[in-house]
Amino acid sequence: MSDHCCQHHDEPAAQNGVANPAVLDALGQDPTTGEVVLVMFEPRPWDGGDTQLFQLQEKLNSYLSFALDGEMAEQLPQLAGRPVRISLACAEPPPEPVVSLLAKVREQIAFQGVGLTVEGLNASGGGCGEGCGCH
């Protein structure tokens, strides 16, 4: 049995979020692109600390492992072979250290056909905005 849990939430639950790399916060499908979207929630404000950045790295590693090491295809065979995108849904635009990390990760995972986007947690709040470097 896997440590990952597929959950669908409009709002992140206490066990979800970047702070818990063992949980897949949400999984969905983009009807426009056909991508499987693995969503991670960061409801906390960015504190600029190493701990939060490390937690984000761990969560990204966990999601990539789930998508690329066969676990997703094993648990959800109907999604096997579909393109994958990881989406970070955050409460506020990420600061520079996070933007730099995401840019490096995006560049590396693109070689494996995985996308990475950043969006606002609230549908009415929109994304991080243009010019932030995280899209």
**Structural tokens at position 76:** 């959800």
Identify the residue with better confidence: 122 or 80: 80
What are phi and psi for residue 79, nearest 5 degrees? -100, 0
pTM (2 d.p.): 0.79
pLDDT greater than 90 at residue 105: yes
Sheet-wide strand order for 84-90: 26-29, 36-42, 84-90, 114-120
Q: What is the DSSP letter of 95?
A: P
pLDDT greater than 50 at residue 3: no
Burial level of 67, CB count in 10 A (0-12/13-18/19+)?
A: buried
**Structural tokens at position 54:** 């490390």
- DSSP SS3 for 53: helix
- pLDDT per residue as tens digits for the range 24-71: 999 999 999 999 999 999 999 999 889 999 999 999 999 999 999 999
Q: What is the pLDDT of residue 121?
A: 77
